[in-house]
Amino acid sequence: MPRPFWWGSIVFGLVNIPVKLYIANRARDVALRLVSPAGVPLERRYLCSEEDVPIGDDEIIRGFPVENDYVTLSDEELESVAPAKSREIDLKLFVPADQIAPIHFEKEYLLLPDKGALKAYRLLAEALRALGRSGIATFVLRDKEHLVAISAHQGLLRAETLRFLDELRTPREVGLPEPAKADSRLEKSLRAAIADLAAERPPKNSLRNPYRARLLRLVESKLSAGEDIYAAPESWHDDSGGAEVIDLMQVLKQRLEGKVGKRTVSADKDVRAAGRSAPRLGDQPKAALYEQAKRLRIQGRSKMSKRQLIEEISKRL
Amino acid sequence: MSARALWKAVLSFGEIGVPVKLYAAAVDRNIHFRLLHKKDRAPVRQVLVEPESGTPLALAEARRAYLTAQKDLVMLTPRELEGIQPKPSRKIELLRFLPPNTIDHRWYLRPYYLGPDSDLAAYRALVASLGRRDSVGLARWVMRNKDYTGVLRLHDGYPLLFTLRYQEEMVSLAQFEAPPGPALDSAELKLAQQLVSMLSSDFDPRTFRDEYRLRLRELIETKRQGGKLRSLRPRRRAGSTDLRSSLRKSVEKIEKSA
């Protein structure tokens, strides 16, 4: 069950559309786990570099290096510089969608209507589609301000973060040569070579990850030979880790296929119920709960006990 | 001043090769913090431990395992992992040239500028040829022990190579229907379109700045000089209930201020 990555509202004039934001791309599933030679999964722990002793999460602070020292910032201080309206994506500007150069696009998210927002959501999606425009706004997500383009895509609203201009180098900064006339003989032969490669579609399987295919073949041969197989720790069994995409599709279906009005609400309830029965908060280590609390921007989390963290997180799910 | 090249390669179009250098086109401007031990402000360091015993283990001694859907860990030996590494090569092979929207920008991951390497004439021919055709190149290569697929195209007249996300990482939106519901009210739709049109202008990336990053810099500077801070809390408004009147009021508000 994927949790929304962010929740808030799209503000469109005086219309307010509560939405939840989901990541549209899943992480590569080829990441390998680090284990001991005996097959036991290893954990990362923090040690103090002076004392060489393990330290807990609540003994760690964040520092920005200045001269020979650090300026330290608490979570609350960091949150204090996030704008007051950080729960809103305020659409004050619309641009022709095709004017945004591909170099700006960074990451894609899906926006889904929250309770009662379906009608306004559909209306905005249809208006954007009909006019071929994207809404532009900034919002704060995970300790960073993002420039975002909201566009309609098959009746869904997609949010794509855009790189700020100062995050892009110019050809001049890179030192690329100014455009100049090409040797016509060379150009002609290159154009012929390009024409030879012209096609309407990519070759079959060319967009797949070849490393993943090799890795899975290797894993399968080891599984059928029964070699080097170790059971993962019991606590990993409820971890929904790998199945996020399938889950995202379920959420989409539940959120979108419910009829408007009462049925939408009941679909919401199903989603919530599924969320509760999936990974039980109580089974998760405190560090994982802390990370989740951080994502949910729960204030004062660094001083909370595990029980308090669970309580605060479940209020927001 | 020119940037340092990340990698050197040869773009290969069948028989023809164009030597190029890759330069990162996107840079990380985020503010990064060090993690410190609260007590003595000493930087923390990460170690790998066996969770039960707490025994630390050097990274070189750790093994790698693949986690299956059945929650089995399949341990892979260093030699086996070596065996599935891609073969190092300097070649960026152009597989096809496709209509620009065949692979849409949702697939694009990171942009790299291409600059000339040792053969300026071939590079100029590349730029000219790419500019003549409304198509983009689909490429495949191995860089620093990793397989990549990418798209070659011009940006403002300069060649750019985008790395692509793999198909396995993409959520296919094709199978979703638009959220269903009764036909939209045409008066409301007209108002919504009117509102979008009134707020429309050209996209000009120069008008946007990362205000949060600027404020964070200021905060760090204030703290460095021992200053005090004030706190702001986020809030959320309720959804609009009377859609039509909200839309109408929005349009009226803009008309008045215009």
Across the interface, of B130, B193, B241, the residue whose CB is closest to A127 is B193
- Give the residue ranges of DSSP H helices in A23-164: 75-80, 118-131
- pLDDT tens digits for range A75-117: 888 877 776 546 889 999 999 999 999 999 999 988 988 888 8
Mean pLDDT for chain A? 80
Query: In the prediction, which pLDDT does B234 show?
Result: 47
For residue A130, pLDDT over 70 is answered with yes
Query: In the prediction, which pLDDT does A238 show?
Result: 64
Residues 119-158 of B with CB under 8 A from A: 120-130, 132-133, 135, 137-138, 140, 146-147, 149, 153, 155-158
Proportion of chain A above pLDDT 90, given as a percent: 41
Region A21-39: mean pLDDT is: 83
CB contact under 8 A, A9 and B213: no
Chain A residues whose beta carbon lies within 8 Å of the beta carbon of residue B247: 13-15
Q: How far apart are CA A316 and CA A305, in angstroms?
A: 17
CB A108 within 8 A of CB B227: no
Region A200-207: mean pLDDT is: 96
Across the interface, of B36, B66, B105, the residue whose CB is closest to A219 is B66
Across the interface, of A92, A117, A154, the residue whose CB is closest to B173 is A154
Query: In the prediction, which pLDDT does A263 show?
Result: 30
Region B216-221: mean pLDDT is: 90
Token output for B258: 């215009």
Higher pLDDT among residues A36 and B70, named by residue:
A36
Chain B residues whose beta carbon lies within 8 Å of the beta carbon of residue A80: 219, 229-232
Q: How far apart are CA B205 and CA A302, in angstroms?
A: 38
For residue A244, pLDDT over 70 is answered with no
Query: In the prediction, which pLDDT does A305 show?
Result: 72
Residues 19-48 of A with CB under 8 A from B: 24-29, 32-37, 39-48
CB contact under 8 A, B195 and A93: no
- Strands annotated E in chain B: 7-13, 16-24, 34-37, 44-49, 56-57, 63-67, 72-76, 91-98, 108-116, 136-143, 146-155, 158-164
Token output for B161: 């190579």
Higher pLDDT among residues A82 and B143, named by residue:
B143
Query: In the prediction, which pLDDT does A247 show?
Result: 53
- pLDDT tens digits for range A246-268: 455 565 555 555 433 333 333 33
Query: In the prediction, which pLDDT does B250 show?
Result: 87
Q: How far apart are CA B129 and CA A194, in angstroms?
A: 8
Pick from B176, B203, B195: nearest CA to B254:
B195
Higher pLDDT among residues B224 and A273, named by residue:
B224
Helix (H, G, I), strand (E, B) or coil at A134: strand
Higher pLDDT among residues A96 and B216, named by residue:
A96
Across the interface, of B126, B129, B203, the residue whose CB is closest to A99 is B203
**Burial (Cβ within 10 Å: 0-12, 13-18, ≥19) of residue A281:** middle
Query: In the prediction, which pLDDT does A2 show?
Result: 55
- Lowest-confidence pick of A9-23, A75-89, A176-190, A218-232: A75-89
Query: In the prediction, which pLDDT does B53 show?
Result: 85
Any residues with CB less than 8 A from the CB of B73 and at least 6 apart, and which? A33, A35, A39, A41, A229, A230, A231, A232, B65, B66, B67
CB contact under 8 A, B147 and A163: no
CB A176 within 8 A of CB B5: no
- Lowest-confidence pick of A12-16, A87-91, A165-169, A289-293: A289-293
Best-predicted range by mean pLDDT among A227-231, B51-55, B235-239? A227-231
Higher pLDDT among residues A182 and A311, named by residue:
A182
- Lowest-confidence pick of A50-64, A72-86, A281-295, A298-312: A281-295
Minimal CA separation from A123 to chain B, in Å: 6
Mean pLDDT for chain B? 89
Pick from B120, B129, B93, B130: nearest CA to B17:
B93
Nearest CA in chain B to A187: B125
Query: In the prediction, which pLDDT does A22 show?
Result: 82
For residue A200, pLDDT over 50 is answered with yes
Query: Given CA atoms A281, A284, A290, A294 in this order, what sign does their dihedral have?
Result: negative
Chain A residues whose beta carbon lies within 8 Å of the beta carbon of residue B130: 194
Distances (CA, A) of A25 to A3, A147, A194, A248: 14, 18, 31, 10
For residue B231, pLDDT over 80 is answered with no
| Interface residue of A94, A191, A194, A250 to substitute, partner B, most B CBs within 10 Å | A194
Chain A residues whose beta carbon lies within 8 Å of the beta carbon of residue B65: 32-35, 39, 41, 230
Region B43-60: mean pLDDT is: 89
Q: What is the DSSP letter of B167?
A: G
Region B96-114: mean pLDDT is: 95
Token output for A10: 């799209």
Chain A residues whose beta carbon lies within 8 Å of the beta carbon of residue B250: 12-15
Minimal CA separation from A200 to chain B, in Å: 6
For residue B141, pLDDT over 90 is answered with yes
Backbone φ and ψ for A150, nearest 5 degrees, come out as -100, 120
Query: How many other CB atoms are found less than 10 A from the CB of residue B64?
Result: 17
Query: In the prediction, which pLDDT does B175 show?
Result: 58
Residues 76-105 of B with CB under 8 A from A: 76-77, 80, 83-84, 86, 94-99, 102-103, 105
Minimal CA separation from A281 to chain B, in Å: 19
Res. B61 pLDDT band, cuts 50 70 90? very high
Residue listed under structure tokens 């946007």: B208
Q: What is the DSSP letter of B6?
A: S
Best-predicted range by mean pLDDT among A29-43, A251-265, A295-309, B237-251? A29-43
DSSP-derived secondary structure for B17-31: EEEEEEEESB-----
Minimal CA separation from B122 to chain A, in Å: 7
Region B72-89: mean pLDDT is: 95
Pick from A85, A104, A145: nearest CA to B213:
A145
Structure pTM?
Answer: 0.80
Pick from A60, A30, A65: nearest CA to A48:
A60
Q: How far apart are CA A5 and CA A148, in angstroms?
A: 15
Query: In the prediction, which pLDDT does A1 show?
Result: 40
CB contact under 8 A, B44 and A118: no
For residue B22, pLDDT over 60 is answered with yes
CB contact under 8 A, B113 and A174: yes
Best-predicted range by mean pLDDT among A43-52, B9-18, B226-235? B9-18
